Amino acid sequence: MLLNIDKPLRTSTLHQDTCAYIPRPHGTPFKPLEDMGRDGGWFAAASESQAKAVADLRFPVGEFKLCQYCAGRS
């Protein structure tokens, strides 16, 4: 699973590894992998609870949510 912390949208969204909304390769210049950039970051998570813990630590003002695309496919 990958957690997308998005500073401009003030959200932390958890995606399944196969989600079409995850950039390939993982991370972008402003949202790096395993670090916070200007617009946020992407973080690996083994579970939903681990993702919530990362979101609370890295971006506590953001709303945590599950990706609607991923949830609709499971």
**How are beta strands 11-15 and 63-66 bridged, if at all?**
parallel
Mean pLDDT of 5-16: 97
- Give the tens place of pLDDT for each residue, 16-61: 988 988 888 888 899 999 999 999 999 999 999 999 999 999 999 9
H/E element, 72: helix 68-73
Q: DSSP labels for 18-42? A: T-TTS-SSS-BTTB-BTS--SSEEE
66 phi and psi angles, rounded to 5 deg = -90, 145
What per-residue confidence (pLDDT) applies to 27? 82
Quick one: 43 exposed, middle or buried, by C-beta within 10 A (0-12, 13-18, 19+)?
buried
Model pTM score? 0.91
